[in-house]
Homo-oligomer: A and B are copies of this chain.
Amino acid sequence: MNAPQARTGLQLRSLIKSDGQLEITLVERPVPVPGDDEVVLRVEASPINPSDLGMLFGAADLATVSVGGTPQRPVVTASVPERSMRGMAGRVGQPMPVGNEGAGTVVAAGASAAAQALLGRTVAAMGGGMYAQYRCVKAEQCLALPPGTAAVDGASCFVNPLTALGMVETMRREGHTALVHTAAASNLGQMLNRICLADGVKLVNIVRKPEQVALLRGQGAQHVVSSPSPAFMEELTEALVATGATIAFDAIGGGRLASQILTCMEAALGRTATEYSRYGSSVHKQVYQYGNLDTSPTEIVRNVGMAWGVGGWLLMPFLARIGPAAAQALRERVANELKTTFASHYARQVSLEEMLRADEIAVYARRATGEKYLVVPNRGEAA
């Protein structure tokens, strides 16, 4: 039998009410019936990425989290500060599904050939709402994993791998030859390091702790600098001279790190300059912020000449920009190198119910390097 045995499945919903209350619940929903070009995925593994936390908690103050309900049907509540409600306007009153990506088994398929071809396969998919036991997706959104691949190994096929590949691709398309990455010991950072080693691209890794320097060096990274080091600016400048990196991808966002990177890039360029220009180097220096680990304002000290830029970088618009053929080539590389270049590591696996426990939230909401969680929505259920 290919049809799902269950009639219903749990689905996580995040709701922000007009009174500023956040409410996260598990609701029971009928297993969807796929359309012609759709398949139903029994979700077996879905990571909690930083990008998911924004949808999960919105602008709620996590110090106000409280958990009620029952262990089987927990209800998480928290308060959104009034000043942040303006930014939430677009989602107030709408229960939002959460979970950008995941992997699992195709348990039902529509009539189309593309959908039928996936029946019984283990596939990865991106498309939101993966914190659920069943999720209906378009067949074309699925990446069939190589036979023998466990769902756990394919859970993080999209967000981190395509983001890391997208950074290298953006570097090339915008005319740079080496790059800088911050929070570089993350799962994503380790992937980027492996890509750069494989592709012969010079990478400057910026981390925040000495043990992260050791971790990346142990994985073959050549340039790793630690931002709390008193010699940080000098060490970064030297790494920039050695690599020629003039583009950075920054997961931190707030504070002065982006500015320090620009300053050191300009200093590195200045070491080889032959003529004074009061406008600084004419080489464009770019920092793209793809994350928001520090939500305080970004402060740019403008001592870097005029050829600089800071801006947001997001995976989906990038994929749209490069077009379907180029995007598909990136996806295929991910599938082929899933257990090597694009391997992810998780500190802990939790069920949907466990995910809503206060002690677990306190850990994964910290978004600390080495503490990534994997949600396993069907653990303990009959397959």
Contact = CB atoms under 8 A, between A and B. Distances in A.
A74 to B, nearest CB: 23
Interface stretch (A167-175, A239-247, A297-305): A297-305
A220 B68 CA distance: 61
Interface in A284-304: 286, 289-290, 292, 295, 297-304
This chain: copies in complex:
2
A323 interface: no
Interface stretch (A19-27, A83-91, A358-366): A83-91
A336 interface: no
Contact of A311 (B277, B303, B309): B309
Interface string A219-262: 00000000000000000000000000000000001101001000
Nearest to A294: B302
Interface stretch (A157-165, A209-217, A312-320): A312-320
Contacts of A8: none
Interface string A39-55: 00000000000000011
A317 B307 contact: yes
Contact of A308 (B58, B87, B273, B312): B312
A314 B277 CA distance: 13
Contacts of A313: 306
B303 A314 contact: no
Interface of A: 54-55, 58, 87, 89-91, 94, 96, 253-254, 256, 259, 270, 273, 275-279, 282, 286, 289-290, 292, 295, 297-314, 317
